[in-house]
Structure 1
Amino acid sequence: MATSDRRSATLALAHALSAAERGLPVIPLSASKLPALRSPHRHEPHPVVCHGECGRPGHGVHDASSDPAAVRALFAAAPWATGYGIACGRPPHHLIGVDLDVLHGDAATTATTELRHLALQHLFTLPPTVTVLTPSGGRHLWLTGPPDVVVPNSASRLAPGIDIRGAGGYLVGPGSVTAKGAYRLAPGSEHLDPAPCPRALLDLIAPPTTPSRPHHTPPSPRHGRGLIHFVRSAHEGQRNTRLFWAACRAYENGLGDSLAEALTTAAVHTGLTEHEARTTILSAARLTRNAQPADPPNATASRSDTRP
């Protein structure tokens, strides 16, 4: 290893340990900004989904730790590392990175301008916070989020040139040296702590909370008989529609598997083939997770005009 590379590796470890002392989980990075340790499962014949449960290093951001001994062990296994990554979304800081990227020319200014426009539009103010300057002329803003909100990673979804680093992502830490240059703290932010993410900005970058489904009473055999009768009484032109609706309701109420055969028999009684009936029920089973409660098809009460 060349003297300059050895010095970069030593500095990377020093900076990583300093970040770990502040409770930030870190991993070693190569000069390409990628995790320095390769997957221990890369030679296995079949794809392996492992987030470090095997106990070996090489699982990317899942290796990140703020324990000094663990950090030293990671860097000892990757002596070629010239930088370090800081895992986002992890306690205690639940770090969120706002990456003002460089697209072309003076795009860093453009990304900053886009962020200011968003702040004006959505009525939030960006507080003074840790800011890291990138070799390409961009910058990373460090913010913290609440522990009960999972912020996903995104690229230019918020606005052109603005990427978000959240759960499962990482930020290149200041003091890292990459093939394109060094990352460094912006003047004036050396002694700052990551500031809380403004609520309005958090609402823009975090997915909306999935509304809870209404509480259903325990399914009863009577409800199952009603669905079967509903299918058996279908006329030509409504057989498949009624079967699909009834199967959805059955699966929503936990009766899907137990009623599948009876619903199939009822559908065949109306004139559908067994294959058609089973295909429709299978489609209902697959889609029920995202299906919303619906009115029975051909219901007698019309809701076409609800105005007073």
Structure 2
Amino acid sequence: MATTDRQATTLALAHALSAAERGLAVIPLARTKLPALRSPHRDAPEPYTCRGECGRFGHGVHDASTDPARVRALFAAAPWATGYGIACGLPPHHLIGIDLDTKPDKSDTDSSTALRELALRHLFTIPPTVVVLTPSGGRHLWLTGPPHHVVPNSAGRLAPGIDIRGAGGYLVGPGSRTRHGTYTTAPGTSHLAPAPCPPALLRLLLPPPPVRRAGGGTAGGDGRGLVQFVLAAHRGQRNTRLFWAACRAYENGIGAALLSSLLDAARATGLTEREARATLASAARMTGHHP
């Protein structure tokens, strides 16, 4: 078993380095598909929002890198890794992952059909792009987004069985070995570059903009509209809405002033304070502010 694991780690590193050469930032994954390196702050008495500022490994997707030396160091620190994750939302590709899940025991959840219906309804076509096949029979479609838009992660918001991997998320890279099998590139797509996300689909992936007042300006210019946007979140949307609202608050110069209200709103929807603070810190970094 040890020999098999070493072979799997060697192959995963090779695939990860190949992805890094293409400008895709990577991290090592365990067989569980989770980041292979545990947080260095896991035993801290107080919640930590560190995303790598401490200089140690173990910050999940925030460790992701395209630097071959750093990638090798990450895998050297996790010799049990058998796969790699590709961080979404980072330059130069600003990768967006469309995760089409399959649930054989639920015939009413056909993610491929749901995507086709969305495409027909909103008049877009998925261009030829990289497609990764999952061990469960699902598919990951790789698309790229514009640098000035932040596509958040979501689960089932677009349609049942369709999850979105955006800023702060990652995709399991092809060649990764997990408990359930190996991720592979679909035939005929390995030579392709990730295609640009169709504008009509991109609009569906972004949270709605603030409501405009009849006399100009935005409703709740003091941030009340953003707080209400978070409070209206349902399960599966809570982190996504909080992240988007915090990004808009920082971009509008009211991030620090609105932090406490956004935190209270997030807790009211069911997020723990630790989860909410981590999401708020991610939004601060994404918009170039100090958490």
Tell whether the structures are fold-level matches, with TM greater than 0.5. yes
The aligned amino acid for 1:141 is L
Q: Determine the structure 1 residue equivalent to 2:160.
A: 160
Cα distance, 1:208 vs. partner?
2.5
The aligned amino acid for 1:89 is G
Cα distance, 1:108 vs. partner?
11
Q: Determine the structure 2 residue equivalent to 1:21.
A: 21
The aligned amino acid for 1:91 is P
Q: Determine the structure 1 residue equivalent to 2:276.
A: none
- 8 A Cα contact 1:108 1:138, kept in partner: no
Structural mapping, 1:1-308, within 5 Å: 2-105=2-105, 110-210=110-210
The aligned amino acid for 1:161 is G
Identity fraction in percent: 72
Cα distance, 1:138 vs. partner?
0.2
Change (3 A) 1:149 1:112: same
Take 1:42 and 1:174, find their aligned partners in 2: how far apart are those partners?
29
- 8 A Cα contact 1:108 1:137, kept in partner: no
Change (3 A) 1:100 1:286: closer
Instruction: Report the 3-state secondary structure (helix = DSSP H, G, I; strand = E; otherwise coil) of the residue aligned with 1:33.
Output: coil
Structure of larger gyration radius: 1
Q: Determine the structure 2 residue equivalent to 1:267.
A: none
Question: What is the number of residues matched between the two proteins?
Answer: 224
Q: Deviations over 1:148-174 (max 9, x none)?
A: 110011111101110000000000000
- Return the TM-score normalized by structure 1: 0.68
Q: Name segments (4+ residues, structure 1) moved above 3 Å.
A: 105-109, 209-215
Instruction: Report the 3-state secondary structure (helix = DSSP H, G, I; strand = E; otherwise coil) of the residue aligned with 2:116.
Output: helix
Q: Deviations over 1:116-136 (max 9, x none)?
A: 010000000110100000000
Q: Which range moves more in the overlay, 36-45 or 1-10?
A: 1-10
Q: Determine the structure 2 residue equivalent to 1:225.
A: none
- 8 A Cα contact 1:97 1:143, kept in partner: yes
Cα distance, 1:210 vs. partner?
3.4
- Return the TM-score normalized by structure 2: 0.72
- 8 A Cα contact 1:101 1:107, kept in partner: no
Cα distance, 1:44 vs. partner?
1.3
Instruction: Report the 3-state secondary structure (helix = DSSP H, G, I; strand = E; otherwise coil) of the residue aligned with 1:27.
Output: strand
Change (3 A) 1:149 1:2: same
Cα distance, 1:107 vs. partner?
5.7
Instruction: Report the 3-state secondary structure (helix = DSSP H, G, I; strand = E; otherwise coil) of the residue aligned with 1:104.
Output: coil
